[in-house]
Amino acid sequence: MAVTQQKAAVETAKAQVERQKQSLESSHEGVKAAKERLRARIATLNPSNEEVRIAQERITQQESTIKATLANLSKEKEVLLQQQTETKKEIHNTRLELQKVQYELEKTIIKAVEDGTIFKMNLTNPDQTVQTGEQLFTIVPRNAPLEIKANVAPQDKNDLQEGATVHMRVSACPYPDYGTLKGRVNDIATDVTPSQNDQTKDKTGNFYEVTILPESLSIGKKNNKCPIVLGLEGNVDIIAKEESYLSFFLRKARLISNF
């Protein structure tokens, strides 16, 4: 009985020893793993010289790349600034040229001193060259009264006077249908003008211009009127002197003389 108990105690002791042995082995493995982790940590904190060299080379390459990039950017900036300066100069020169062209174009624009209607145009052909001071148009001022211009030979000027009665036959308004346009002499030019119409030329080629104000802007009867507009032409009869029928009859009979 005592032997059996001793065997059991021995087995129990063996089992405890085995458990302690396993526990020690497990602790040994843990210590070993901890040592490995510690070595790896130390290796991380204390890299080798080769790793440090490789890292430094990478840093140096990156620094060189950055410097080269900055240098290229600086050159591009200088080029852009130069282009900007040249562009500003070109814009300035272009503006000056535009101002010159605009000034020249403004010189080609014909401007009248006042508003009105073109009565006569001396230009006959497209692209016609004109000279400085040349008369190109005759303009009737807006709202100006309609006037009739008549050419009178110098030998007839002395018989004219302002206010004299005028009868005008208008070419566009046939006399049999509309009759004559009545008016009065408003002004007689003091200087002669070179004639442009062979019918009014005298021996010297000069005439006096007479301004006539019409009594109306149409001729004819109520239901049959012909309007008077700019540009119409015709023949003018100016009554230089009026006398009674008896005086005229006696003059024809040579019974009285004209003093």
Domain ranges of the chain: 2-46, 110-144, 146-252
Question: In the predicted model, is pLDDT for residue 92 greater than 90?
Answer: yes
- Do the Cβ atoms of 208 and 157 come closer than 8 Å? yes
C-alpha distances (whole Å) from 154 to each of 111, 165, 222, 239 are 35, 19, 39, 16
Out of 2.40.30.170, 1.25.40.10, 3.30.565.10, 3.40.1350.10, the CATH code matching 146-252 is 2.40.30.170
Q: Can you give the pLDDT at residue 47?
A: 61
Q: What is the pLDDT of residues 10-63, one digit of tens each?
A: 667 667 766 766 666 666 676 677 777 777 776 676 666 777 778 788 888 888
Cα–Cα distance measured from residue 20 to residue 138, given in angstroms and rounded to the nearest whole number: 136
pLDDT at 3 over 60: no
What is the average pLDDT across 233-252?
Answer: 67
**Higher-confidence position of 255 and 156:** 156
Q: How far apart are CA 48 and CA 122, in angstroms?
A: 104
Residue 256: pLDDT above 50? no
Residue 253 pLDDT greater than 60, yes or no: no
pLDDT band for position 101 (cuts 50, 70, 90): very high
Mean predicted confidence (pLDDT) in 80-87: 90
pTM for the whole structure = 0.46
Averaged pLDDT for residues 175-204: 76
Query: In residues, how long is the chain?
Result: 259
Q: What is the pLDDT of residue 201?
A: 46
Residue 100 pLDDT class (50, 70, 90 cuts): very high
Which of 120-124, 130-134, 159-163, 209-213 is most confident? Answer: 209-213
Listed ranges 99-103, 128-132, 228-232; the one with the highest mean pLDDT: 99-103
Look at 43-52, 83-92, 118-127, 195-204 and tell me which has the smallest mean pLDDT: 195-204
Tokens of 131: 């000279």
Q: Rounded mean pLDDT of 70-81?
A: 88
pLDDT at residue 247 greater than cutoff 60 = no
Q: Is the pLDDT of residue 259 over 50?
A: no
**Which of 242, 243, 258, 228 shows the shortest CA–CA distance to 164?**
242
Q: Helix (H, G, I), strand (E, B), or coil: what is residue 180?
A: coil
Buried b (16+ CB within 10 A) or exposed e, 168-196: bbbeebeeeebbbbebebbebeeebeebe
